[in-house]
Amino acid sequence: MITSKFTSGMPASEIVASIDYKVRINGTDCFVYVCESASYVIGSGEGPVTVEIETPLCVEQVKVRPLSKGIQPKPANGSITLEVQAPIKLSIEFGGDIRKPLFLLINPPENNRPDPSDLSVKYYRGGAVYDAGEIILNSGETVYIEEGAVVRGHITAPESNGARIAGRGILDGSGWRTTGLQPYEKRKQMIKAISCNDLEIEGITVVDGSNWHVVPIGSHNVTIRNLNVITFEGTGDGCDIVGCENVVVDNCFIRAKDDCLAVKAVDYHHEAGLANVKNVLVQNCVFWNAEWGNCMEIGYETRCDTISGVTFRNIDVMRCEFEGHQSGGVFTIHNGDRAVIQDILYEDIRVEDAQEKLVDIKVLDSKYSRDTIRGQVDGVTFRNIQVIDGLFPVSIIRGWSEEHMIRNIRFEGLTVHGEPVKSANDARMVVELAVDVSFQ
């Protein structure tokens, strides 16, 4: 017998609900949060669940993403019904309007909830709003945000060992909008982990920060799992992995106006020193890259010796919107400094709506560059990449010079709209100052 479980906490009465949607899951009313770019429901569950959505929007024209889930809504009398298998993360779009989507974010049930009386736990109970400001996370401590809790602030973990951030509540960065627009250099990163070891971030939803949202810097053994990030600020990257080793990003949902996930090496304020990047695994995620930035980015800042062992696997790209600044793309490597970038794998990835470039790999000098010498890109594999809907985007692979060419780029099983792509010409790809670019 298949069991079905679903829970969703209620926030404090001062949190305003979406006027566009009413949602019931397994017959229980769910609170529908709202921000500038979406309405969203947060919950935990497993097994089959029935989702009922009432809306004044067009229920006769509904698209449920990721398309790979194959979910067919059943419309009736100003509502739709979905039968889904939890845990699951979806974007539901009505009448072709991508500016009013409903995100359904159901994480797996929790299995490691801390004791509220534990002195090493900063415990934020559900049903309340907390104006926390900066939360310092020290070694061995946990920040726990319970379902239905909204914590307004940001978290800094300075050289912490064995620290944890968990829960099913919300970390809200919108205070910068109500206190005036700060200059960029004063905008806070929502979760900033500096020179940490054995860090776990699990389950919470991070919204509306003024800067990068989840940022491990110079850290080792980092696990980011079941995270949701919803951001619409132009500098609001979803997750930036900066000079780290041994990082896993698993089952995350990111809607970002800038980069969804970026791998970098950059010495901001000399906080963690310059460090190489090694062994980064990003898997089982759902990404929506809005107007700025890129979807899966390595760069621009690559101020280290090597970036290696980076894998993106089993990912649904719902959207990669048009940027228009010669940068935006789904699979992007922008080597703007001295690093040798090698052993990179993109595997089992489905692209639904790419409006600018599919692949953009460059060695270049950009406004973000600081090193005086250029680096290398040598060894990138694209395996089982499918463009399943939307446009057939162009691609660019361009080196810097004969001494800084791009080398060993392999496409294995690239398909666009079901048709195999067997050459750069078939791929609508410009290749310059690059060697050993092959298609199989």
Identity of the amino acid at 140: G
Q: What is the CATH number of domain 212-439?
A: 2.160.20.10
Q: What is the pTM of this model?
A: 0.96
Q: CATH says 5-107 is which class?
A: mainly beta
Cα separation of 216 and 235, whole Å?
Answer: 17
So where are the chain's domains? 5-107, 212-439
CA distances from 81 to 74, 122, 367 (A): 5, 39, 48
Q: If you average pLDDT over every residue of the chain, what do you get?
A: 94
Residue 235: the pLDDT is 86
Cα separation of 201 and 143, whole Å?
Answer: 9
pLDDT per residue over 398-416, tens digit each? 999 999 999 999 999 999 9
Residue 224: the pLDDT is 98
pLDDT per residue over 227-272, tens digit each? 999 998 888 999 999 999 999 999 999 999 999 999 999 865 444 4
Backbone angles phi and psi of 186, in degrees to 5 = -100, 0
Q: Which residue has the tokens 């800094």?
A: 156
Cα separation of 129 and 93, whole Å?
Answer: 29
